[in-house]
Amino acid sequence: MIYGGIPDLDSKINRCDELNKIINDTSFWNNPDKDKYLKEYNDLNNLVNDISSVKNKIVSNMELLDMDIDNDMLDVINEEYVDIKKNVERLRTETYLSGEYDKSDCFLEIHSGAGGTEACDWADMLLRMYTRYFSKNGYKYTELDRQPGEEVGIKSVMLEVNGKYAYGYLKGEMGVHRLVRISPFDANKRRHTSFASVLVTPKIDNNIDIEINDSDIRVDIYRSSGPGGQGVNTTDSAVRITHIPTGIVVTCQNERSQIRNRETAMNVLKNKLYYLELEKKNKEIKGIQGDMMTIGFGSGKRSYVMCPYTLVKDNDSGYETSDVDRVLDGEIGEMLEKNIRS
């Protein structure tokens, strides 16, 4: 049965009951997979409770509508309807997020592409869009690395994003993002096209079994750049690690300690290598390495057109809106959900 657009609860409730029996078995704590079972049970139980809560509200309001109620009560029901509809859409989306790492935190990277100064400014605009979305939706983020543009904006930035379904919601952002606008840097006010790529990798347990030989990496130490405390910008604490066999490059400069930055960079590299191996096994390599994606004409995830008309169009899901300013201000939730369901 579909209740308000939410899938039937029976299979989820049955699985919860099954997991509950496993967890309460006297031998459970000797089970090598106990952590996996506990995580599945907690995630599934939370989802079932959320769906049940929305279902009960719908039933309650439907019963009230069958009664003789005054206008004040009708206003209350209308207000609850708006909240219920929003929660239904969120829960419907979350039922699609069943991938192994969809519930995980993630690393989000933005790299400027073809277009020089224009592209660096565009990469900075994308950074603002995502960070405003994170702030509005309860995600925490930490800037691990930033490479500023020569004149304006950024050449690249890497964020660690923490929150419920962070990877699940953001994985669809991977690809080349294209901006068309009248350039603020062109005295002749000509129209320019700029490109930037977005890369998203799930954050995997730091205890993952990935062996990295010292001979396979090159470690460069340099002075941090961009925003940061006095100690960050005046000491050689930034770390760049290049994994020679794959060409993957990871940088970190958010800590004052070179040791801490190296530790963080190695953890990120392990995540990328582990995920790359998983993707290879599934024959679904989507370009974790920056140089695997051509950032220019002929490739595109999404277009943001500001001139001669206004349009945001996602090429994967078909989502379109003319409100470019709203999207660039971080209102991308509807677009992310459309991506997940497509």
Over residues 27-64, the pLDDT tens digits come to 999 998 888 889 888 888 887 888 778 888 888 877 77
Reply yes or no on whether the pLDDT at 271 is more than 60: yes
- Average pLDDT on 89-114 reads 86
Q: What angle do CA 129, 152, 198 make, to 5 degrees?
A: 40
DSSP lists the bridge partners of residue 341 as none
Q: Which residue has the tokens 């994170």?
A: 134
The whole-number pLDDT of residue 208 equals 64
Pick the CATH number of 108-341 from 3.40.1010.20, 3.30.70.1660, 3.40.50.20, 3.30.70.1150: 3.30.70.1660
Reply yes or no on whether the pLDDT at 251 is more than 60: yes
68-83 pLDDT, tens per residue? 777 787 777 888 887 8
Report residue 244: phi and psi, to 5°.
-60, -45
The dihedral of CA 142, 89, 100, 175: what is its sign? negative
DSSP lists the bridge partners of residue 181 as 192
Three-state DSSP at 66 gives coil
pLDDT bucket at 290, cuts 50 / 70 / 90: very low
The whole-number pLDDT of residue 22 equals 92
- Average pLDDT on 266-285 reads 74
DSSP lists the bridge partners of residue 248 as 243
* Alpha-carbon span 168 to 79, nearest angstrom: 29
Report residue 340: phi and psi, to 5°.
-65, -40
Three-state DSSP at 314 gives strand
Lowest mean pLDDT among 85-89, 125-129, 132-136, 263-267: 85-89
The dihedral of CA 201, 205, 209, 215: what is its sign? positive
Q: What six digits make up the tokens of 86?
A: 């929003």
* Alpha-carbon span 143 to 134, nearest angstrom: 13
Strand pairing category for 175-182 and 302-305: parallel
Three-state DSSP at 19 gives helix
**Helix, strand, coil fractions of the chain, as percent rounded to 5:** 45, 20, 35
* Alpha-carbon span 10 to 243, nearest angstrom: 48
Reply yes or no on whether the pLDDT at 111 is more than 90: yes
DSSP lists the bridge partners of residue 257 as none
The whole-number pLDDT of residue 235 equals 67
Would the pTM count as exceeding 0.85? Answer: no
117-169 pLDDT, tens per residue? 999 999 999 999 999 999 999 999 999 999 999 899 999 999 999 998 999 99
- Average pLDDT on 170-175 reads 94
195 vs 62, residue with greater confidence:
195
294-322 pLDDT, tens per residue? 555 455 899 999 999 999 999 999 999 99
- Per the CB < 8 A criterion, the answer to whether 191 and 307 are in contact is yes
Reply yes or no on whether the pLDDT at 289 is more than 70: no
